[in-house]
Structures are given as structure tokens and as C-alpha cells.
Amino acid sequence: MTIKNAQFITSSSHHTQCPAPDKPEIAFIGRSNVGKSSLINMLTGRKKLAKVSSKPGKTQLINHFLIDNQWYLVDLPGYGWAKVSKSDRSKWGEMIHDYLLERKNLLTIFVLIDSRLPPQPVDTEFIEWLGENGVPFALVFTKADKQSHNKNQSSIARYRKYLKNQWEVVGPIFLTSSAAGDGKEDVLNYIAHCIDISPEISS
């Protein structure tokens, strides 16, 4: 799949404010600064579609982008940002958990993981929550350009092992670099596959 057109639609602080759930939807999440917005720009081929910042916590709301008039791509705010207050953290939890549980057109969520780090509790706890609540997900390892091929492979192997200890089936895993454009086709093809096999969605 190639993306021809991508446009920002709206930012929402609650799932009920999101656009009508009348098109398939794919969301991206992960800890602050992991590279969600950068990956969205890489996938859509638009440098400034989603706002990128070296300062964590840039994305604070549920951001909908309409892709080729056919599906929604969603940039979600990051978790695990140390400077966030407890009340902001619980607000984040409520907003994201409600969205993930209630959004009926959501086909899958990509959980982004920094390929340089061993499994971190903020990530593994979130992944466990997804598993327990039956939210389909795929893992995307980001910033592959920042370390060697071998280190990337051992990071992925370590995660796979961790996931296999939790569940019988391990979902798809992708390795990407927004800086180098790596993994673009794999991720887009997987999105196309999810849309292909989804039941027809209507509002």
C-alpha cells in the first residue's frame, strides 16, 4: 500500500469527540519520545503532518488523520513521561483506556518500543493491559538507525521471548527507522491486511 493523501482532521480529549467511527482505524502509541509522530510522518510521506519534538509530551490529545479518504490513522499521546503529574497520568490513562475499549472501528494498535532498550515496565504493563482486554496490537521497534543490525535483532529476540512467556500467540513485530525510512512497506502492508480482513464498518 502507498499513501497518496493524508490530512489532519481533529484532536479530541475524549473518544466521544472523535470523528464518526465510519471508517477503519489504526492507532499508534508508545512512551513519550519513542518516535510515534515521526513514524506517522514517515508512513504518510509528509514531513510535518504530525508534530515532532525532541521534548517528550508533545502529543497530548487523540489526533485523527484521514488517509486516502478510506481510513483513519491516529496519533496518541505518549505514556511514561517522568515529568507528568499523577493527576495528568490518570487523565491520560482514562482517555486512552476508554478510547481503546470503546472505539468500535479500531482495527489494531501499534505499540512503539525504542529498539535500544530492554523491556521496560511502562511498556510491558501497557502490553499486558492490551492482552487482558483483548485489544489487538502489533509491536514496532523504532530508531533502528541508532544501533547496529545485530543489536536490533537481539532486542527483538528478547521481547519475543518475554511475550512468549505471557501468551501463546505473539503478534506481528516490525523494525523501523523514521530517519532512514526502514520498515515503511512492512508496516503499510500490514495495515492494508488489517483493513482487508476487517468486517465492513458503518456508523
Nearer Cβ to ligand GTP, position 38 or 195? 38
Instruction: Name the binder of 54 from Mg ion, ligand GTP, none, CB < 5-8 A by kind.
Output: ligand GTP
The interface with ligand GTP within residues 87-106 (CB under 6 A) comprises none
Instruction: Name the binder of 108 from ligand GTP, Mg ion, none, CB < 5-8 A by kind.
Output: none
Instruction: Name the binder of 143 from ligand GTP, Mg ion, none, CB < 5-8 A by kind.
Output: ligand GTP
Which residues are at the interface with Mg ion (CB under 5 A)?
Answer: 36-37, 58-59
C-alpha cell at 31: 512512551
Q: 126 with 137: CB under 8 angstroms?
A: no
**By rule CB under 6 A, what string of x and - marks binding of each residue 153-192 to ligand GTP?**
------------------------xxx-------------
The interface with ligand GTP within residues 28-47 (CB under 6 A) comprises 30, 32-38
Q: 14 with 95: CB under 8 angstroms?
A: yes
Work out how close the CB of 77 gets to Mg ion at its nearest, in angstroms, rounded to a whole number: 7
Dihedral of the alpha carbons of 163, 146, 143, 161, in degrees to the nearest 10:
-10
Nearer Cβ to Mg ion, position 63 or 155? 63
Q: Which residues make up the interface to ligand GTP (CB under 6 A)?
A: 30, 32-38, 52-54, 56-59, 77-78, 142-143, 145-146, 177-179
